[in-house]
Amino acid sequence: MKKINLFRFWTQWGLIPRLMAAVGGAVIAAGGVQTALLVAEGAGEHSARLRREQTETLVFLAPLVADQALVGDYEAVSQLLKGQVKKAQTDRFVWTDKDGKQVIAQDVPDKLDAPTWFVRLAPIPVFEESVEVTAGGVGYGTLSAWMTPVKSYNRLWQQFTKQLQILSVTLFLMLQFIWLIFRGNLGTLRMLVEGANRFSQGDHGVRITPEGAPEVGLAAEAFNNMANNIEGLISSLAKSESKSRLLATIVEQSSEAIWTTDLAGNITSWNAGAAAMFGYGPSEAIGHALKVTQSTPEAEQERLQRLAKGEKFAYDAKAMTASGGAIDIQVALAPLLDEGNRSIGRIAVARDVTQHKRSEEALRFARETAEAANQAKSSFLARMSHEIRTPMNGVLGMTELLLETGLTSSQRKYAETVQRSGKNLLGIINDLLDFSKIEAGKLELENVDMDLRRTIEDIAELLAERAHAKGLDVACSIPPGLVTDVRGDPLRLGQVLTNLVGNAIKFTEKGGVVIRVSSVAQTPQTVSIRFEVKDTGIGISRESQGRIFKEFSQADGSTTRKHGGSGLGLAISKQLVEMMGGEIRVESEPGVGSTFWFTASFERQATSREGATTLIGRLAGVRALIVDANAVSSSILRAQISNWEMSAWVAETPKQAVDLLAQAASRGAPYDVALIDLRLPGMDAEQLARTIRGRADMAKVRLIMLTRRHVDAKHARDSGFDACLVKPVRQTALYDCLVNVMAGRAAEISSPAVVHKPVLEASAAMRGEILLVEDNVINQQVALGILQIKGYSVTIANNGREALDMWARHNFDLILMDCAMPEMDGYEATREIRTREQASGKRVPIVALTANAMAHDRDECLSAGMDDHLAKPFSMQAMQEMLDRWIPVSTVAVPRPAERQAKQVLDRQVLDELSRMLGGGKQDMLASLINLYLAESPKLLDELKRAAGAGDAREIARVAHSLKSCSANVGAMALSRYCAELVEVAKRGDAAEARRMVPTLESEHVSVREALSVEFESLNATKEFTSNSRTG
């Protein structure tokens, strides 16, 4: 019962009393245990010490007492023992001699200060000990000592009382600290209690200021957080209730139909929107099912299964209204769940989509109409492309063939005008096709290995002649560290650059055009390049800059605009640049010039090539002087050669150049080489070269001419130049030229590289046999003329069926197949040939010749089994490149002299046609023509041999071209073809190869002269016979 009362008493205590009682009890218990241990240990220590001291005292006194007892001085013994009693802890000494006489020394007894309970708690015994006193082995008596524990008890009691005092003070201080510490925290705890009471009574704004210990502060913060959360929940609940009321209002007032049904499908709630949509009031709808048409039992069952799985979904249906009509609705269904998450029905939201369905149907019809129109446009474009390209092939092909014949200067000018106009028209057609393909999203970019430097220099070189004709410079600035070995579409990149550079040339009357390239950003896998085309032309106004990238737009939009063009070039360029992951912009000021720039992203090639330009050591330390009045050209040239560790200086005038050369020579550090532009103010390059060569102090400087046109090599050397370079200068050509000149080797005149490779002279039979499948007579003549000029034997088939018959009877090296033909088109003929080839295992190359230039046309040709595609109109160059791919020239053997003598050197058809043109009565004119050839052609051959000996490629090309034309006029077609090939080699600048071809050409010329001599004698004999007949 007492335990229960004590427990209740304990539970009624507050925190501080409990803590103080617990701490006090713990301190008292710990102190009591410590004190008891101390007392017990003290008693043991005192007992041991008393015994030890008593033994030591007896051992000390025994000899002293023996000395006095030996002489019988008992008074001295008494004094000795009394003195020792006062000093030691011993209470009593007794000396008893052998006769029983005693001497007693006893101290005054000490008062016991320790209480009896303490003495019982720590018992210390009374110690009594005796020792025999002897001297010389003779015993004289016994010395005894008694020691009481009173003094030990008193000392031990003093230690005990001190320990209790320390324990009391410690307990007092600890309780005071506890009170002080918790007195501040109790305020916070009381506020927590009060705050909780207030919060429970509805005061949700109450908060506690954290004070006191961190734990109490955390409790206050926890209370505040709890209060915030609860207050937020209450606020959210209030908002939810408000939203619920608002939602109920919205549902009721919504224009969309919202209703719920039970599991049987009967309506349990029906809003005003549903009543308005279906025409049934709530009283009419609730308890009934909504009538839905176009819904099968299977579909309904599927919806029920999906709802059972808890899915939410939507479906389209038709529903009946109260008026008996049907409307299109879109229904969203969701399961209706109770508090136990069990399905008790479903909720539906429906929209009237009748008008939307009608709009969709109209849109679908409009889309189909637009697609049909677009298809019709594409078909029309393809058809018109085919129809235009077919006559264009005749115009351009025949014009090219015409230019290969001997023409007067006026006739050649007219023919070249026709050719240029045809190419311009073809360019416009190609722009339209490109734009249409981009617009339709059918244009795809290639991703092949390419050399950016070569692509850019090719474009500059291609357009340089047009610029030079206007007196303009074209230059390329490509930094040495630029990543040029990339993967991309070189054709489309070239198309953009060609358009921008071509426009710059077109709209610039003086100055020049500069192509600059720089790196924008690069990663280990990709590189982003900025291309910039800057001109000094007429410029573009700010108003016009906003529209020039739109289709069919130019800065000059008037109908009488000066420069012409389709207005599609920049629009196509913009879209191509965007396809290459970049952007295109223009910066321009009227009257100053324009800068068009664009960016493009490329992949890096897996491995990079190292060109000759990396061989810096071969030109390191060479001192060069650039003499050029054009600051842009000279700065670009200086940057190029500085990359090879050369030292470069620039002179803008001939006088400045002579002064710099003289100053350098006088310092003992002359220039090693001078690059001199052909056009200089006040003195041309040749005069400057002669001046330099005429002075002893600078005569040893190597001179390189920079020219915009081909220069006679001998003439250039006679003027004092060691080499010539044609602008724009390719970096590799510049490097090679400098290396050759510095090595003391004569450098050939550098000219733009010929795109196509020269073909070897061979007979038609050895060149290859080609089956030409073409139904259009004009196209037949164009292809036949080109192929015959190139030295091929040609068989013509007018349709696919004839082609199959000819192919079956003869082995051809190549088939040129038109696609659209009567009876059997090229696709069907190709498929039939491929099927028949499976039995023999042989495959003849088939190349499509078609006027359809769309990408899908090429794909269709390839899928039919054709190997390549050549779009009409095609040039000799395009035809030759295609032929070289499929009938490699390396497989053509050059005929031996014996074989050449055996073949026919004259084409009788040409001579017969020439005879018919002159008329039967003018055979003497034909004889005169042949005689003129026999007299003049040897002179041309001599000029050709001299030019070959001098290594003058330009002169070789000029003379070979003349010999080609006049040889074709007299039927020497094989010789004419060989001359044409020699022209191509010479134009490429390969004088050494041209020199090797001259002996073969000379041999052919001997055969032609012999054949023509026979023909001439035959004509003269006929003339004499006719004259004699008339005389007779």
160 and 126 in one domain? Answer: yes
Find the mean pLDDT for residues 787-794.
Answer: 83
d(CA 103, CA 329): 139
575 and 454 in one domain? Answer: yes
| pLDDT digit string, tens, across residues 187-207 | 666 777 777 777 777 777 777
pLDDT beyond 70 at 293: no
Q: How many domains does the chain have?
A: 6
In terms of Cα–Cα distance, which of 342, 355, 290 is closest to 319?
290
CATH number where 129 lies: 3.30.450
Instruction: Dig out the tokens for 101 from the structure.
Output: 């006489």
Find the mean pLDDT for residues 837-861.
Answer: 79
Specify whether the CB–CB gap between 823 and 800 falls below 8 A: yes
1019 and 961 in one domain? Answer: yes
Instruction: Dig out the tokens for 238 from the structure.
Output: 């209030």
Residue type (1 letter), 222: A
The predicted pLDDT at position 746 comes to 53
Say how many C-beta atoms besides its own lie within 10 A of residue 913's C-beta: 12
The predicted pLDDT at position 550 comes to 72
For residue 691, is it within any domain? yes
Which DSSP string corresponds to 72-116? T-HHHHHHHHHHHHHHSS-SEEEEEETTS-EEEEEPPPPP--S-H
- Of the two residues 288 and 565, the one the predictor is more confident about is 288
Q: How far is CA 54 from CA 41, 139, 149, 335, in A?
A: 20, 21, 12, 106
| pLDDT digit string, tens, across residues 654-685 | 999 999 999 999 999 999 999 999 888 888 88
d(CA 283, CA 833): 81
Q: How confident is the model at residue 752 (pLDDT cuts 50, 70, 90)?
A: very low
pLDDT beyond 80 at 728: yes
Q: What is the dihedral of CA 182, 187, 191, 193, to 10 degrees?
A: 40
The answer for 511, left when phi > 0, alpha when psi is -120 to 50, beta otherwise, is left
For residue 631, is it within any domain? yes
| pLDDT digit string, tens, across residues 370-413 | 777 766 666 666 666 666 766 776 677 777 777 766 666 567 76
Q: What is the DSSP letter of 746?
A: P
Say how many C-beta atoms besides its own lie within 10 A of residue 246's C-beta: 11
For residue 853, is it within any domain? yes
In terms of Cα–Cα distance, which of 959, 983, 976 is closest to 910?
976
The answer for 209, left when phi > 0, alpha when psi is -120 to 50, beta otherwise, is beta
The predicted pLDDT at position 561 comes to 42
The predicted pLDDT at position 525 comes to 92
Find the mean pLDDT for residues 938-963.
Answer: 87
Specify whether the CB–CB gap between 790 and 818 falls below 8 A: no
674 and 529 in one domain? Answer: no
Q: Give the domain-ending residue among 726, 743, 760.
A: 743
Q: Taking CA 117 as the corner, what is the angle to CA 114 and CA 119, rounded to the nearest 5 degrees?
A: 55
d(CA 935, CA 941): 11
- When mean pLDDT is compared over 24-33, 334-343, 916-925, the highest value belongs to 334-343
CATH number where 331 lies: 3.30.450.20
Place of tokens 């109409």: 369
Find the mean pLDDT for residues 514-530.
Answer: 93
596 and 496 in one domain? Answer: yes
Question: What 3-state class would DSSP assign to 878?
Answer: helix
For residue 644, is it within any domain? yes
CATH number where 1016 lies: 1.20.120.160
Strand 448-451 and strand 473-477: the pairing is unpaired
For residue 51, is it within any domain? yes
pLDDT beyond 80 at 21: no
Question: What 3-state class would DSSP assign to 522?
Answer: strand
CATH number where 879 lies: 3.40.50.2300
User: In terms of residue numbers, what domain contains 460?
Assistant: 444-555+565-604
Q: How confident is the model at residue 970 (pLDDT cuts 50, 70, 90)?
A: confident
pLDDT beyond 90 at 517: yes
CATH number where 507 lies: 3.30.565.10
Place of tokens 């000490």: 110
The predicted pLDDT at position 899 comes to 37
42 and 164 in one domain? Answer: yes
For residue 902, is it within any domain? no
703 and 807 in one domain? Answer: no
Range from 120-134, 204-218, 881-895, 1005-1019 carrying the lowest mean pLDDT: 881-895
592 and 456 in one domain? Answer: yes
672 and 599 in one domain? Answer: no
The answer for 527, left when phi > 0, alpha when psi is -120 to 50, beta otherwise, is beta
Find the mean pLDDT for residues 471-489.
Answer: 89
Instruction: Dig out the tokens for 268 from the structure.
Output: 């349990």
827 and 713 in one domain? Answer: no
pLDDT beyond 70 at 462: yes
Q: Give the domain-ending residue among 853, 886, 919.
A: 886
d(CA 798, CA 1018): 38
Say how many C-beta atoms besides its own lie within 10 A of residue 469's C-beta: 11
Crossing angle of helices 923-950/953-969, nearest 10°? 160
| % the chain with pLDDT above 70 | 74
Q: How high does pLDDT run on average in the chain?
A: 77
d(CA 403, CA 415): 7
- When mean pLDDT is compared over 274-283, 738-747, 778-787, 860-869, the highest value belongs to 860-869
| pLDDT digit string, tens, across residues 418-454 | 776 677 677 666 666 666 666 555 567 778 888 899 8
The predicted pLDDT at position 595 comes to 93
Specify whether the CB–CB gap between 970 and 1020 falls below 8 A: no
Find the mean pLDDT for residues 500-508.
Answer: 89
d(CA 426, CA 389): 8
Q: Give the number of C-alpha atoms closer than 13 A to the C-alpha of residue 388, restricted to the C-beta side.
A: 17
627 and 599 in one domain? Answer: no
- Of the two residues 840 and 652, the one the predictor is more confident about is 652
546 and 629 in one domain? Answer: no
Which DSSP string corresponds to 411-432? HHHHHHHHHHHHHHHHHHHHHH
Place of tokens 């007196």: 471
**Does 873 sit behind a cis peptide bond, omega within 30 degrees of 0 on the bond before it?**
yes
Range from 569-583, 752-766, 1008-1022 carrying the lowest mean pLDDT: 752-766
In terms of Cα–Cα distance, which of 385, 490, 390 is closest to 437?
385
Q: Which residues pair with 587 in a beta bridge?
A: 595
Which DSSP string corresponds to 277-325? HH---HHHHTTSPPPEES--HHHHHHHHHHHHTT--EEEEEEEE-TTS-
For residue 450, is it within any domain? yes
Please give the model's pTM, rounded to 2 decimal places: 0.45
Specify whether the CB–CB gap between 92 and 145 falls below 8 A: yes
| pLDDT digit string, tens, across residues 136-184 | 667 777 877 777 777 777 777 777 788 777 878 877 777 777 777 666 6
pLDDT beyond 90 at 589: no
For residue 156, is it within any domain? yes
CA-based torsion, 154, 156, 159, 163: positive or negative? negative
Find the mean pLDDT for residues 840-853.
Answer: 81
Residue type (1 letter), 439: E
In terms of Cα–Cα distance, which of 298, 28, 18 is closest to 163?
28
Q: Give the domain-ending residue among 124, 145, 173.
A: 173
Say how many C-beta atoms besides its own lie within 10 A of residue 256's C-beta: 17
Find the mean pLDDT for residues 59-74.
Answer: 72
